[in-house]
Structure 1
């Protein structure tokens, strides 16, 4: 098993544990509420019909469901892409529960290989997903696809982790960070911003975060510098 295969196997176990043990929008995990940066963008499309949205690494719908609710009455559609069958199945169940199933289209794919049609979307979001592609080359490809797939005046919203560390809470032993792409904050910010020259920067922020996660029954403290980068195509 390669290191990437091992990381993906562990991440799959972690996410499926969360999806099985925590319900969407109920307290107890990061599934509790959508990302504020994403929700704050939705008013931009208040006066636009037929809004098209792409959620790369959608999971069970933490952001997709609220987006779908916001664009439902405007004949909007959101394409939700994830690699995990379990995530997409849960998303389809939640979309029925929240009565937005006609708005949501699911696709199984590795976002590093996902092909986006040129000038297709008004909004593309990638929340804690770009760091999970297989290589820096695939990261570059994914961001370029986002750039090419955005309509004029459309928005890209990226939240990506950098400088991730993991520590066993019981032993205080530093562990290998299970993240496919784990760049320095400076390098990740430079990489992302290089693709968006000429775009209007709506938000550029680095926020240190730390929280406990469960890996194979162990409590692990994960620390990261989370980069929020929101830009509009001019």
Structure 2
């Protein structure tokens, strides 16, 4: 099994477990509430109609369902892309439960190979997903597609993990981080600034995080520098 296949297998196992054992918007996991940075952007579209949103790596709807609730009465649409059947199946159920099934459109795809229509979206969101594409070259291509797919005055909102480390808690042994694209923080920021040159950067911050996960029934400490990057396309 290749390293990429191993990472994909481990990530599928981890997310399938979360989606099966934790309910959306209930305390106990990262599914508890949407990302504040994402939700804080929605008032910027208060005067817009026909809002189009793309959620790359949507999962079960942690962000896309609250977005859909906000734009429901503005003829909005949220296109949700994910590779996992477990995510999309749950997303469809939650969309019905929260009465936004007409707003949310699900598409099964690998975000690294999903073709984004040019000038289609007012808001493109990618939370902890871009670092899971196959390679740095594909990472670059996806972000360039995001930029091209954004309307004038539209916004791209990303949270990207960098300098990820995984440490087995019992032995304190450093493990191979299960992350396809794992760049140094400064290199990632330089890359983003280059791609979004000419855009208005609304937010750029780095937050060191660490939390416990389970890998192959072992308690593992995951450490990361989480980069929040939000940019608006100028006319």
Aligned equivalents of 1:22 and 1:219: distance in 2? 18
Aligned equivalents of 2:141 and 2:105: distance in 1? 23
Aligned equivalents of 1:119 and 1:143: distance in 2? 14
Higher mean C-alpha displacement, 126-135 vs 206-215: 206-215
The answer on 1:166 being equivalent to 2:166 is yes
Which residue number corresponds to residue 153 of structure 1? Answer: 153
Partner secondary structure for residue 31 of structure 2: helix
Aligned equivalents of 2:69 and 2:219: distance in 1? 35
Could you list the per-position Cα deviations for residues 151-203 of structure 1 after superposition, in whole angstroms to 9, with x for gaps in the alignment?
A: 00000001000000011122211111000000000111111111100000100
Could you list the per-position Cα deviations for residues 210-231 of structure 1 after superposition, in whole angstroms to 9, with x for gaps in the alignment?
A: 1111222222111000000000
Aligned equivalents of 1:26 and 1:190: distance in 2? 37
Deviation, structure 1 residue 19: 0.6
Aligned equivalents of 1:232 and 1:20: distance in 2? 36
Deviation, structure 1 residue 92: 0.4
Partner secondary structure for residue 34 of structure 1: coil
Aligned equivalents of 1:47 and 1:125: distance in 2? 20
Aligned equivalents of 2:32 and 2:172: distance in 1? 28
Higher mean C-alpha displacement, 200-209 vs 164-173: 164-173
The answer on 1:109 being equivalent to 2:102 is no
Aligned equivalents of 1:10 and 1:29: distance in 2? 18
* 1:1-234 superposed matches below 5 A: 1-234=1-234
Structure 2 spans left out of the alignment, 5+ residues = none
Q: Under a length normalisation based on structure 1, what TM-score does the superposition of the two structures give?
A: 0.99
Q: Under a length normalisation based on structure 2, what TM-score does the superposition of the two structures give?
A: 0.98
Partner secondary structure for residue 113 of structure 2: coil
Aligned equivalents of 1:194 and 1:93: distance in 2? 39
Say how many residue pairs are matched.
234
Partner secondary structure for residue 7 of structure 1: helix
Structure 1 spans left out of the alignment, 5+ residues = none
Runs (4 or more) in structure 1 with deviation over 3 Å come to none
Partner secondary structure for residue 170 of structure 1: coil
Deviation, structure 1 residue 71: 0.4
